[in-house]
A and B are shown apart, each in its own frame.
Chain A
């Protein structure tokens, strides 16, 4: 029987994994809730970071990209994996270029670059303002090629329900999954020698976010409930600039600021004039004033807190509301169309104003989860006797960028969860971004996982347990039992339709209340008392969920059933998230506690690790040390209120071109 790998999720991470594993000659079964071309990666707008020749000649390096990512993540990420990712980044850009991604070009035909948050160098490659879409399509096309050859089989509109974990002689090992066809509602177990979870983030736990409708986090939660550990659940990125909406909060890319967009509010809170009638001197460019070095391109958590502070604490939002201006009207409209067309169109379509001529009104929204399934790694060859001091921007890198310095290539532990044979790639994993992700590093980490860590999966099949005891030869009862457990859950949910749901037992209302509570307690500003209240709310929602009632009995294409099942999984992950936020009694990156406003390296430069206790149905939280063996932690100030040392870089930093 041929060895098979299951990849769950058809976004950038899942597709990159499928391509790499199929290329090695193995068969891949690719599961996705949606046709893979419609995965949430399409929503990524701004670009993908990598050291490049222009920046390199100005003093930038892969090492600086590594240092920026660690500093941007506020010294919470394990450092070796980040080093390898930064070193690999230029190779990923080259590969995407070969695949035909229409990266924007300079007049001479080279790949164009833009400035992005957390860097003083232009190191972000982009394809208009729909970079994620273009990257996803390039990988989708390569997967289609393997699909035509028969080495990738797609299961689209199939929902992952649980990993099949088998207690073998050497401990628990993942040997397949249970999944459900969302049209026929058939539940089936599938065998696999390894399973890659690449299912993205859990934005829907917050109700409305910038995430797509399928980003419930349910797949991660199901792995968690099956015994996989979940790390840094409290680390949720709130993007500073989103467009409020009735159904979702649409992202307004950081590239709008990278291309020169300026954030401001009227200096007088009661100033009701249209924005373009307010003279320059009566506008408060608060980010530029507070962060002269980085200006509008400070990292996301900082921009978010400043906007939140201006609106919520100081009551200075535009028109007394929770919004600030993101202003591009000083830029040439044709230039804007060329560089940012896609996102300006989204704003125009959904708000009705043309951002080339009217400043946009934006407010922060939940965007990304730095936390995720815990994964291991095998460090590479760079093991300094002592961690280096913080890198000074633009200075010579202490090391080169050879492959294998950060991680050992092909190691089977790279990106593996605590369960043998179960891997986590992309946003669903906790690696790389620490306490805050830098803009344009997400696409990178997804593709890096697929390409680099995909090789470890291949080696695991060749040299690990599957080579001695293939999943194809295991007793059928293992798989039948797993499928039967899921069928019981379905039967229980379908058995609840006898009488109509009321407010307390309606899954949509339970989800809405969860979203409102999580947004209020677990986003920009957190505090112990409020978080405890949030935990109590989640507990009461879990209690109500135990009596949940379905609005649809249908045995065919029952969306209510799938949604209701996901709500149960969201509640469990939400509890881990709130507990992480309570137990981390410090402020770090996106996690800001008013009662513990300082970073506490002695106590909390540690990964928070959530483990699910199946007997009680509760989360147990602990803290474990991180790998900080490469760089010494330093205060993360982004030059706040300091005068900028280098006026040329300051000009660059505010996006002047």
Chain B
């Protein structure tokens, strides 16, 4: 079902010039207690969560008229290609920029709930620290090991089908939706545990992407070994939540299966090589 169809099927006509309520789970910093605060927002047509939060920043007063601090959140491109503004909205993880108020709160007084992602340590309010996610990309050596940047001619030729497969995988914007939805992935503030705790679907899929590339493949063995140990591909519990929440529709479960197969083949090959 396309976005348009989904929208039309669930359509309740948005009330123009209405006021909605934004209920936000707040926290002043690591180790500080959390609290709920609700804000009344007058919305115009085309409003999204970002434009609502911008109103709160300019005028941080709660629905019951109490002055408070502005809500802190992370954002960047506002067109769902940078991944920054990911949060939990009405219980479901997604980017807040593409979350339209007309869909989520079409009626006067409708409420939208915002929470920070729960699988990463909170920095403040809706802003979480996703360093572990980028660490995972180092863990699987998510790059093509080129021979430097001097001119050495073009890269490998590629069929349109292979390009199409790689392109979809390469659209991963490291937002963390797949990790928030994963029952196997839990908050881990201790960076020294990041090399052995579950790496998550996004990094497994990136390993598949680079293992597909003719030059990237040179590191395939190292990637598969990194994914064979604790916190690797075998820790996946096959809940398949990741693929359902991926905003870029990346076939994450296919990637996990592909890397699972590659790992098995690699393990057998290494075993024979040792013998």
Contacts and interface: CB of A to CB of B under 8 A. Distances in A.
A345 to B, nearest CB: 8
Contact of A34 (B76, B155, B162): B76
Contact of B75 (A99, A127, A213): A213
Interface stretch (A138-146, A410-418, A649-657): A138-146
Contact of A94 (B75, B155, B171): B155
A248 B78 contact: yes
A212 B77 contact: yes
Interface string B105-128: 000000000000000000110010
B82 A144 contact: no
A557 B73 CA distance: 10
A353 interface: yes
Nearest to B81: A42
A109 B157 contact: yes
Nearest to A245: B46
Nearest to B167: A102
Contact of A38 (B45, B46, B83, B143): B83
Interface in B57-92: 57-60, 67, 69-70, 72, 74-84
A134 B170 contact: yes
Given A34-B76, A212-B82, A91 B174 contact: no
B50 A556 contact: no
A291 interface: no
A20 B151 CA distance: 13
Interface stretch (B191-199, B209-217, B226-234, B252-260): B209-217
A360 to B, nearest CB: 13
B51 interface: yes
Contacts of B142: 141, 144
Contacts of B152: 94, 98
Contacts of A271: none
Contacts of A354: 2, 4
Contacts of B215: 98, 100
A448 to B, nearest CB: 12
Given A127-B167, A134-B170, A353-B4, A244 B159 contact: no
Given A35-B130, A91-B151, A109-B157, A147 B51 contact: no
B67 A130 contact: no
A292 interface: no
B44 interface: yes
Interface string B12-50: 000000000000000011000000000000001111101
Nearest to B48: A247
Contact of B134 (A19, A37, A99): A37
Contacts of A20: 149
Nearest to A508: B58
Contacts of B240: none
B143 A142 contact: yes
Given A352-B4, A557-B29, A34 B84 contact: yes
Nearest to B46: A246
B77 A102 contact: no
B153 interface: yes
Contacts of A557: 29, 72, 123-124, 127
Interface in A37-54: 37-40, 42-43
Contact of A128 (B7, B29, B123, B167): B167
Interface of A: 19-20, 23, 34-35, 37-40, 42-43, 91, 93-95, 97-100, 102-111, 127-128, 130, 133-134, 137-138, 141-142, 144-145, 147-148, 183, 212-214, 244-248, 250-251, 338, 342, 345-346, 348-350, 352-354, 451, 500, 506, 508-509, 512, 551-554, 556-557, 559-560, 563
Given A247-B97, A512-B58, A563-B57, 15 more contacts: A37-B174, A38-B76, A40-B76, A43-B81, A98-B152, A98-B154, A98-B155, A99-B146, A102-B158, A138-B144, A213-B78, A509-B58, A554-B124, A557-B123, A560-B57
